[in-house]
Amino acid sequence: MRTKRILGIIIIIIGVSFIASSFYIKSRVTSGREQISQAEGTVRKGKQLFSLDPIAKEAGKVITDPIDKKLKEESAKADRYDTLATWFQIIGGVFIVIGAGLIYVSRKKE
């Protein structure tokens, strides 16, 4: 009976760790999305500057197209990490429920 209780506590700790990790990941994703948004604004301003002249517009495309591509890649990466954080929350919740169930089952019958 005691081993079930200890195992339940360990599983709960693992579940809490998953949830804490998910909050950290989500905070980093939010920070990254803010940086991406700022960069997109800067690129938009650059495109407006280069759009005044047809020759400058072509030169601007050479400069801004690779940046746009990189921003889209980073945005997709942020989406993947956001999904990972959501799964960590789900898994953490399941672990907590399983751990609590083990502790409940292992309690002494009076």
Number of domains in the chain: 1
In a domain, 82, yes or no: yes
Q: Which domain holds residue 36?
A: 2-105
Residue linked to tokens 């991406």: 36
- Tens digits of per-residue pLDDT, 25-79? 999 999 999 999 999 898 888 888 777 777 777 777 888 888 889 999 999 999 9
What pTM was estimated for this model as a whole? 0.77
Would you list the DSSP string of the chain? -HHHHHHHHHHHHHHHHHHHHHHHHHHHHHHHHHHHHHHHHHHHHHHHHHTTSHHHHHHHHHHHHHHHHHHHHHHHHHHHHHHHHHHHHHHHHHHHHHHHHHHHHHSPP-
In a domain, 110, yes or no: no
